[in-house]
Structure 1
Amino acid sequence: MSERDTERSVSQTVRAQLALRDMILSGTLRPGERISELQAVEITSVSRTPVRLALVRLEDEGLLQAIPSGGFMVKAFSERDILDSIELRGTLEGLAARFAAERGASARNLEPLKECLSDLDQLVRQDPISVEAFSAYVTMNARFHALLTDLSGSAPVIRQIDRVSAMPFASPSAFVMAQSALPEAHNILLIGQEHHRIVVDAIENREGARAEAVMREHARLAVRNLRLALRNRTHLDLLPALALLTSAPTD
């Protein structure tokens, strides 16, 4: 296969992967529903080999499950699955923060993280916070977490954080928009921002254990967000991948 053909195949695989992921997360493809290669070809208008690779990638992400008789099935997620994913992300992000602190992130490398922290400060100081500001927070928060992860200097850790964050409900901002209309919203953002501030300070002062502990606690804030979002049923339309959730907290 020529280099051009290889690039085209990769492009088709990504296109099929994104299209199928969107259908799963939107609920168009329901939990338990079987997806064959031929069906995926028809859905995505992509040839069979790239589709096969896309399905395998989605299985690796945890969205699909291979069926022994052939094909794949859309997975459902329980509350326990979500809590475990959040805990795993917190553990990995804590490790990344500890590495950043102990390996001595330079002032130059810390500067983008501090700038992002300052931008987040301007957003969370708004009271009340507009829906537009919440949307901007999602983007900035994702950038903050990505910058912090990169400071670890560990390719294996970065790779595993990216992998777990791709799972439904597990990303750092998974519940931000769902909580945007709740009375507790502003207070939650302030708590999260204080966590951000502490971890930057801990990394700068090379306090590895402190940096790790605060990022693990920071991830657990997402558990609180999940429960608040599900308790207030009027805003579940803002909760990504809700169709994949088989059970929800009731207290």
Structure 2
Amino acid sequence: MALDAEGSQAVKAQVKLRELILAGELPAGARIAELAIVEKLGMSRTPIRAALMRLEQEGLLEALAGGGYAVRVFSERDVADAIEMRGTVEGLAARLAAERGVPGEILNEARQCLARIDDLLAQPRLNDAAFSRYVELNQRFHTLLREMAGSPVIARELDRVVSLPFASPSAFVAVQAGSAHSRDMLIVAQDQHREVLAAIERREGARAEAIMREHSRLAQRNLREALRSHSQRMPGVRLIRPQ
């Protein structure tokens, strides 16, 4: 098998294994039986082993002393710390963007992204399709924020931070879909999006940083809601143990 084909198979195995873990089919604390995974996914051992190594690096699996891997169990504090770290790095990105200035085309794209979110939130009630679209646009805005900093170092750190389990900007948005106050929470988040963009345009670095730090607090609130409600919309929450 060619090297690029092996790499493609490893990526596919990684995606499928992640889905099994987050869906609860491989429960928290369970030891991964390599042969069983090979049979379940219909792939050879080589891409499966590569996928297991990548998921260990990603944080969903932990290497066992005697060899092999187990599905990692997260404490509420683990996840809260990852979210806090994301807020800190995004705050730094926002401050650098304000201090250094941002190209007009990136600012325009950010404005257009927020305008599309406004259109979604203009609906009196959001269905599943609207929530999915919100997740896409929310992710895009946060990606643009990373680009605004104009720093490969910050971009690399943000990529690393958001790859941590449950630390991405939209990790707990699905929880809101079942909440009576879901639209209200998204409106608060959208207001913060607009405020941070305005602060960046006005070159107010300290304010931009503070807003993004506060923005991550919404994810902390959604984490607590997910644990309290045992949300069926987010099966991966089963990997998290309340404090």
TM over 0.5: yes
TM-score, normalization: structure 1? 0.89
Match of 1:237 among 226, 232, 239: 232
Mapping of 1:48-197 within 5 angstroms? 48-197=45-194
Distance in 1 between residues matched to 2:34 and 2:177, nearest whole Å: 39
Distance 1:44 1:181, change over 3 A: closer
Distance in 2 between residues matched to 1:240 and 1:202, nearest whole Å: 37
Displacement after TM superposition at 1:176 (Å): 1.7
The residue type paired with residue 242 of structure 1 is: V
Displacement after TM superposition at 1:36 (Å): 4.2
Please tell me whether the aligned partners of residues 90 and 219 of structure 1 are also in contact (alpha carbons under 8 angstroms).
yes
Q: Which runs of 5+ in 2 are unaligned?
A: none
Percent identity among equivalent residues?
Answer: 51
Distance 1:119 1:170, change over 3 A: same
The residue type paired with residue 107 of structure 1 is: G
Please tell me whether the aligned partners of residues 97 and 212 of structure 1 are also in contact (alpha carbons under 8 angstroms).
yes
- Give CA deviations for 1:179-231 in whole Å, capped at 9, x if unaligned: 12322222211110111001111111222221111111101111112223443
What's the secondary structure of 2:70's corresponding residue? strand
What's the secondary structure of 1:73's corresponding residue? strand
Distance 1:71 1:83, change over 3 A: same
Distance in 1 between residues matched to 2:146 and 2:189, nearest whole Å: 17
Displacement after TM superposition at 1:173 (Å): 1.4
Count of residues in correspondence between the two structures: 243
Displacement after TM superposition at 1:240 (Å): 4.4
The residue type paired with residue 239 of structure 2 is: L
Q: Which runs of 5+ in 1 are unaligned?
A: none
Distance in 2 between residues matched to 1:207 and 1:101, nearest whole Å: 6
The root-mean-square deviation of aligned C-alpha atoms, in Å, is 1.8
Please tell me whether the aligned partners of residues 36 and 70 of structure 1 are also in contact (alpha carbons under 8 angstroms).
no
The residue type paired with residue 189 of structure 1 is: L
The residue type paired with residue 56 of structure 1 is: M
